C-alpha cells in the first residue's frame, strides 16, 4: 500500500507560467542549496569516508519525489511505493535496507534520511541525503563481507522508520541502531550530519516560498522538469538509433573464486523512448557482488552520461524519466532475489558506467569513451593500537579515468566527480600507519592519441598489527581501449614483509592479518587509451617520461624513443613508428579488450601471479530467469 500524505490544506497548487528571471533565480537557489547540503555534511560528519571523501549524495525533490537537483537520481519513489504509513509535517524518515525500497539505496551501509517539507499544511518538497557508514556491524569490520551468502551477514538493516514523528525524536530507536556498530561515535555524528544537511535544504525551500509564494515555487520546479524533458527528448532523437546495439563487460570475480560475471545491455529507440534491456546478464552471485540496480537510478546514470557528452549545460533532474524504459531480469546480478548479499556491489556499479559509454558511443565513435569507470577500490584496516584503543579505517581509492574524445583521462581520479582523497596527513595522524608512496603508477594508463589516466600506487607501512580487507576489480579483465587505443593496466595488490619477501594478494579479500612493519602496495587500474597511440605528439610523450607518468620502455608503445631523462630521439622515433605501422594488422579496432575471456584465463597466472577465477555455476531456475 503506498504512503499516505497527510495535508491539512487540500487545495491544489495553482500551476502557471514562470517568468525566465524568476525561474533562473529559483534554479540557482536550488543548486546553491544542494552545495550547502554538502558543506553542512562535511563540517558535521566524523568518518573519513564522508568528512574527507564526500561519500554522500544530496537531493532536493518536488512533492512527488522527483529530483530537481542532486546527483544520484530520486530514490523517493521507491520509498513511497513501499511505505505503508502516513507522512506528516514534522516527520523525518530513515532507512538502509535495499529490499524495502526497490534498490533505491543499494547496500545497507548507505543510511538514507528523507525529510518532507510542508508549507501551510501542504507538501511542497522533499530533501534527502544518504551517506556510506564506516561500519554497521556484521561479520567483518567495515560490514562489507566478501563471502556473505545473504544480506543477514552484512550488518544492521533499517527498514523505513520515523526518527522524528510530528517533530518528536525517537531516541530509543537511534540507540538500538547504534548498538549494532563497531563505530557508534562516527555513525551518530554522520547520522546527525545527514539530518542537518536535509534541514538546511528545507529552510532554503521555505525561504524561496516566502519570497515567491508556494504556487510560483512549485510551478518553477515543474518548469525545470519539463525543460529537462524537452532537452533530453531532442538529445535522444538525435543520438540514439532505432537499430539495436549491444555491449557486454565483466566483473572479474566474486572474491570466493568464481568469475567473471557478465553484464550485458542492449539499447535501441522506439519512437521517442529509449529501451535499455539487460537480458543476457549473468544470474546473481552466491557471494556479495550483486548490485540491486534501481531502474530510476539507472535512468539518471543514462541521463547524466548523455548530458555530459552532448550538452553539459543541462540541469540534472528527473524530468526525462518517461523517455526511458529499463528492463532488468529478476534473479540476475543486477536484480538479485531477497535475501541475496549486496554489500560489495560497487564493482558492478562501476562497470555499469563502462557499459553505458560503450553503448552510447558505438554508432558515433567520435563520442566513445574507453573503459576506466570500472570500480571503486576500497581499503579497510582495523585493530587495536599499542594503547589498546580500537581503530578502524575505511578508505576509497582512485583509479585511472579513461581516455576521452576531447583529451587524456585524469591520473588517479575518482569514479564519482565530487569525491576527494583522504589526505595522507589525516591517515597518519589518526591511524597506526605511514604512507611511503602515493604516486601515479607509470605506464598504467592505456596508450592512445589520448592517454588513459594512470592508476595510483599507494604504499602503506603498518605501525601496528591489524586486519586488512581489500575490495577492487579490473585485475582479470583489462580496462579496454577504443578507436585504436590500447587497454589500461590491471590492478595489483602486493604485501611486502620486513625480510623483503613479497606476496601477491587477491584484489578481493577479508581478514588479512598484517604485522607491524608490513607494507601493502595498493596499485589500481589505469584507464583505457583513446585513438591511435602512434598519432600522439612525440614531444608530449617525452615530457610525460620526464614527469614520471610514462617510462622510456612505455614510450615505445607510442613508437617514441627517448632516454631516461626524456630526451627525444626524433630520427629513431620516426623509424620505430614506420616499422610499427607496417607490422600491425590493417584496420582499427573499435574496442581492444586485451584478449578474449578464454585467452585471459590461459595467461592469467603468468601475467598476474594469481590463478584465474573458475567459471560460475548456477541453478537451472536462475539461468532461466537471466535469459
pLDDT at 414: 78
What is the pTM for the complete model shown? 0.94
> Quick one: average pLDDT of 185-205?
98
Say whether pLDDT at 135 is over 70. Answer: yes
Task: State in Å, rounded, how far the first CA of the chain is from the last one.
Answer: 31
Kindly provide the b/e burial profile for residues 529-560, where b requires at least 16 CB atoms within 10 angstroms of the residue's own CB: bbbbbbebebeebbebbeeebbebebbbbbbb
Decide which of 83 and 427 is more confident: 427
Q: Which three cell numbers stand for residue 107?
A: 547496500
- Dist CA 43 CA 193 (whole Å): 8
- Where helices occur in 113-213 by DSSP H, the ranges are 171-178, 184-212
CA 580 vs CA 215, 559, 577, 585: distances in Å: 67, 7, 5, 10
Half-sphere exposure (Cβ direction) of 118: Cα atoms closer than 13 Å: 17
Say whether pLDDT at 353 is over 70. Answer: yes
Q: Which three cell numbers stand for residue 326?
A: 529499463
Q: How confident is the model at residue 566 (pLDDT cuts 50, 70, 90)?
A: very high
514-543 tens-digit pLDDT:
999 999 999 999 999 999 999 999 999 999
C-beta atoms surrounding 42 within 10 Å: 17
Q: How confident is the model at residue 309 (pLDDT cuts 50, 70, 90)?
A: low
Contact between residue 424 and residue 464 where contact means Cβ atoms under 8 Å apart: no
Counting residues of the chain whose pLDDT is more than 90, the rounded percentage is 82
Contact between residue 395 and residue 49 where contact means Cβ atoms under 8 Å apart: yes
Element (H, E) at 5: strand 4-5
Q: To the nearest 5 percent, what fractions of the chain are helix, strand and coil? A: 35, 25, 45
Say whether pLDDT at 502 is over 70. Answer: yes
Burial class (CB in 10 A: 0-12, 13-18, 19+), 429: exposed
pLDDT at 1: 61
Mean pLDDT of the chain: 93
pLDDT at 442: 98
Contact between residue 472 and residue 253 where contact means Cβ atoms under 8 Å apart: no
pLDDT at 626: 65
- Dist CA 483 CA 436 (whole Å): 37
Give bridge partners of residue 224 from the DSSP assignment: none
Say whether pLDDT at 366 is over 90. Answer: no
Q: Which residues contact 398 (CB under 8 A, 6 or more apart)?
A: 377, 412, 413, 414, 419, 421, 455, 456, 524
Say whether pLDDT at 13 is over 90. Answer: yes
- Dist CA 37 CA 129 (whole Å): 8
- The residue extents of the domains of the chain are 4-232, 240-293+328-363+595-627, 372-532, 537-587
Contact between residue 205 and residue 296 where contact means Cβ atoms under 8 Å apart: no
Q: Which of these, 198, 114, 93, 94, lies nearest to 156 by C-alpha position?
A: 94
106-122 tens-digit pLDDT:
999 999 999 999 999 99
Per DSSP, the residues of 481-538 read: EETTPPPPPPPEEEEE-TTS-EEE--SEEEEEEE-TT-EEEEEPPPPPPBS-GGGS-H
Strands 122-132 and 110-119: antiparallel
- Dist CA 295 CA 46 (whole Å): 32
Amino acid at each position: 500500500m503506498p504512503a499516505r500524505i497527510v495535508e491539512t490544506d487540500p487545495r491544489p497548487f495553482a500551476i502557471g507560467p514562470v517568468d525566465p528571471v524568476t525561474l533562473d533565480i529559483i534554479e540557482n537557489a536550488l543548486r546553491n542549496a544542494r552545495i550547502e547540503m554538502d558543506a553542512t555534511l562535511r563540517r558535521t560528519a566524523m568518518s573519513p569516508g564522508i568528512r574527507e571523501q564526500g561519500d554522500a549524495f544530496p537531493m532536493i525533490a518536488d512533492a512527488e519525489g522527483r529530483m530537481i537537483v542532486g546527483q544520484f537520481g530520486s530514490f523517493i519513489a521507491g520509498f513511497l511505493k513501499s511505505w505503508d504509513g502516513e507522512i506528516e509535517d514534522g516527520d523525518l524518515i530513515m532507512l538502509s535496507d535495499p529490499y524495502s525500497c526497490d534498490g533505491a539505496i543499494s547496500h545497507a551501509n548507505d543510511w538514507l534520511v528523507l525529510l518532507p517539507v510542508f508549507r501551510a499544511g501542504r507538501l511542497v518538497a522533499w530533501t534527502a541525503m544518504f551517506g556510506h557508514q564506516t561500519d554497521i556491524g556484521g561479520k567483518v569490520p567495515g560490514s562489507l563481507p566478501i563471502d556473505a551468502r545473504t544480506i543477514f551477514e552484512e550488518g544492521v538493516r533499517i527498514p523505513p522508520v520515523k526518527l522524528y514523528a510530528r517533530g518528536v525524536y525517537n531516541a530509543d530507536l537511534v540507540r538500538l541502531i547504534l548498538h549494532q556498530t563497531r563505530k557508534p561515535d562516527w555513525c551518530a555524528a554522520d547520522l546527525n550530519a545527514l539530518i542537518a544537511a536535509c534541514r538546511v535544504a528545507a529552510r532554503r525551500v521555505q525561504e524561496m516560498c516566502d519570497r515567491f509564494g508556494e504556487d510560483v515555487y512549485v510551478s518553477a520546479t515543474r518548469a525545470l522538469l519539463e525543460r529537462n524533458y524537452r532537452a533530453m527528448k531532442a538529445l535522444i532523437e538525435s543520438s540514439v538509433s532505432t537499430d539495436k546495439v549491444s555491449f557486454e563487460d565483466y566483473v572479474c570475480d566474486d572474491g570466493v573464486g568464481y568469475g567473471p560475471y557478465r553484464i550485458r545491455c542492449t539499447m535501441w529507440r522506439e519512437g521517442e523512448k529509449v529501451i535499455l534491456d539487460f537480458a543476457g546478464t549473468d544470474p546473481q552471485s552466491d557471494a556479495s557482488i550483486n548490485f540491486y540496480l534501481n531502474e530510476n537510478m539507472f535512468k539518471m546514470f543514462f541521463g547524466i552520461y548523455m548530458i555530459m557528452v552532448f550538452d553539459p549545460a543541462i540541469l540534472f533532474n528527473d524530468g526525462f524519466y518517461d523517455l526511458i524504459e529499463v528492463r532488468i531480469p529478476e534473479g540476475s546480478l543486477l536484480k538479485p532475489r531477497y535475501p541475496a548479499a549486496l554489500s560489495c556491489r560497487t564493482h558492478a556499479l562501476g562497470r555499469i558506467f563502462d557499459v553505458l559509454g560503450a553503448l552510447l558511443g558505438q554508432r558515433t565513435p567520435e563520442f566513445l569513451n574507453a573503459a576506466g569507470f570500472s570500480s571503486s577500490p576500497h581499503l579497510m584496516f582495523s585493530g587495536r593500537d599499542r594503547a589498546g584503543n580500537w581503530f578502524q579505517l575505511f578508505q576509497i581509492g582512485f583509479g585511472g579515468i579513461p581516455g576521452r574524445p576531447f583529451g587524456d583521462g585524469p591520473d588517479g581520479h575518482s569514479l564519482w566527480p565530487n569525491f576527494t582523497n583522504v589526505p595522507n596527513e589525516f591517515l597518519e595522524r589518526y591511524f597506526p600507519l605511514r604512507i611511503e608512496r602515493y604516486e601515479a603508477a607509470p605506464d598504467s594508463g592505456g596508450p592512445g592519441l589520448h592517454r588513459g589516466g594512470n592508476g595510483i600506487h599507494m604504499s602503506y607501512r603498518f605501525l601496528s598489527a591489524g586486519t586488512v580487507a581489500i575490495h577492487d576489480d579490473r585485475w582479470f579483465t583489462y580496462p579496454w581501449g577504443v578507436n585504436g587505443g590500447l587497454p589500461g593496466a590491471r590492478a595489483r595488490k602486493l604485501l611486502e614483509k620486513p625480510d623483503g619477501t613479497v606476496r601477491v594478494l587477491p584484489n578481493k579479500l577479508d581478514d588479512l592479518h598484517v604485522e607491524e612493519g608490513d607494507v601493502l602496495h595498493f596499485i589500481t587500474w589505469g584507464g583505457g587509451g583513446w585513438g591511435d597511440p602512434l598519432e600522439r605528439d612525440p614531444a608530449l610523450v617525452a615530457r610525460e617520461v620526464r614527469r614520471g607518468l610514462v617510462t622510456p620502455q612505455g614510450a615505445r608503445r607510442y613508437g617514441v624513443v627517448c632516454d631516461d631523462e626524456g630526451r627525444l630521439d626524433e630520427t629513431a622515433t620516426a623509424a620505430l613508428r614506420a616499422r610499427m605501422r607496417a607490422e600491425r594488422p590493417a584496420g582499427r579496432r573499435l574496442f581492444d579488450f586485451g584478449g578474449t575471456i578464454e585467452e585471459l584465463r590461459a595467461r592469467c597466472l603468468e601475467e598476474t601471479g594469481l590463478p584465474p577465477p573458475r567459471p560460475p555455476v548456477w541453478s537451472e531456475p536462475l539461468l532461466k530467469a537471466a535469459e
